[in-house]
Structure formats: C-alpha cells, structure tokens
Structure 1
Amino acid sequence: MSETVLAQLLGQGAREGSDLTTLQAIAEAAGELGATRALTRLGLADAGAAADVRELRELLRAWRDAKRSAWRAAWGWAMRIASAVLLGGLAVRLGFKDWVK
C-alpha cells in the first residue's frame, strides 16, 4: 500500500465515521507504509535484500562460532600451562631433580 491509499482511508474514516474495518485498514496501511520506509532507509527494499540478510546472518553465526572456538582454545592452553607449572612445582618440591642424577 502507498501513501495515497493511506490518505484515502483516512479521508474515508473522517467522512463516514470510523468503524472497526476502516480502523483496521488504516492501521494496516500505516504499518506497511512505515515498514517500507524503514526498509528503504536501511537499503533493504530491493529484491536481493532477503539474500543479503541471510548472508549477514550466516556471517554473524560464523563470527560467533569462531569467537567461541577461540575462547575454548585459550582456556585449553591456559589449563595446559597451569598444569605444567603445577607439575613442575611438584617435581621441584619432591626432589625430582635429584632422582634424575
């Protein structure tokens, strides 16, 4: 629906009084017009917009997966380093250096 349809519906509501059907049509026309304007301002009003949004969602999902994997890898390395330091400390404390000689 366009601005002219909305204007016609508003005129009809003013002339004939506003029954429920007219009010619903006005609300629907206004909502559709507002959504169209918002999509146009965002640059998503063309035919390829759906594909662009799908691609952006896939890219965002890949970014989240990569971020999660990086945190898991960093946590894994931190645990390995902590374990190595702990084992090294235990070896020194228990005199493992003397056992090797």
Structure 2
Amino acid sequence: MEDLSIERRKTVTMPQTDFEQMLELAAEKGARNALHGVGLDGEGAAHDIRELRNLLDAFNEAKKTAGLTIVKMLVTGLVLALMTGSLIKLKLFGGAQ
C-alpha cells in the first residue's frame, strides 16, 4: 500500500498549454532525430524528398501504363481471334468445306 502512495506523490501537474508545448517540442525533436537517422537532415533534404516523391510518382505511372497496355493487348488479341474465327466460319479463307 505504501508503494501506491509513493507513486501518487511522483505525479506532476502542469497547465494544458505548457503540456501541449512540451509535446510539440518532443515531436519536433523526434522527427529531426528520425530524419537524421535516415540521412535526410542536411540542407538538400527537401530536394532529396522531392526527388523521391517524383520517382515514386513516375513508378506508379509506369505501373498504371503497363497494366493498361496489357489489358489493351488482351482485348486486341481477343478481337482478332473472334474476327479470324468469324472469317473462317464464313469460309473467306478457303477453310474446311
């Protein structure tokens, strides 16, 4: 029971605005440490991040384009197969009698 009363005495109270400022400062320091940890803390960091975003945008656009190209090729192949089958059925190629 004594341990609980000791723990309660260690509680600190502070105004809400001071608490929010302390949290903001801690978050900023944490973000700076994280950026430093991955090597994005120099003067060119903003430029590097922009380049990474541009690279990701280009990669996503390439994936989208590749997917659309594959779908177009499949649809074109299907249409050509249907047309070839129709022409053979109509005996325009001199198919089986």
- Normalising by structure 1, we get a TM-score of 0.72
1:82 is the counterpart of 2:78: yes
Partner of 2:28: 32
How many residues align structurally?
Answer: 85
Over aligned residue pairs, what C-alpha RMSD do you find? 2.2
Partner of 1:63: 59
> Where does the alignment leave 5 or more consecutive residues of structure 2 unmatched?
1-9
Higher relative contact order (CA 8 A, sep 6+): 1
Shift, 1:17, TM fit: 5.3
Aligned-pair identity (%):
32
Structure with the bigger percentage of helix: 1
- Normalising by structure 2, we get a TM-score of 0.75
* 1:76 partner amino acid: K
Runs of 4+, deviation exceeding 6 Å = none
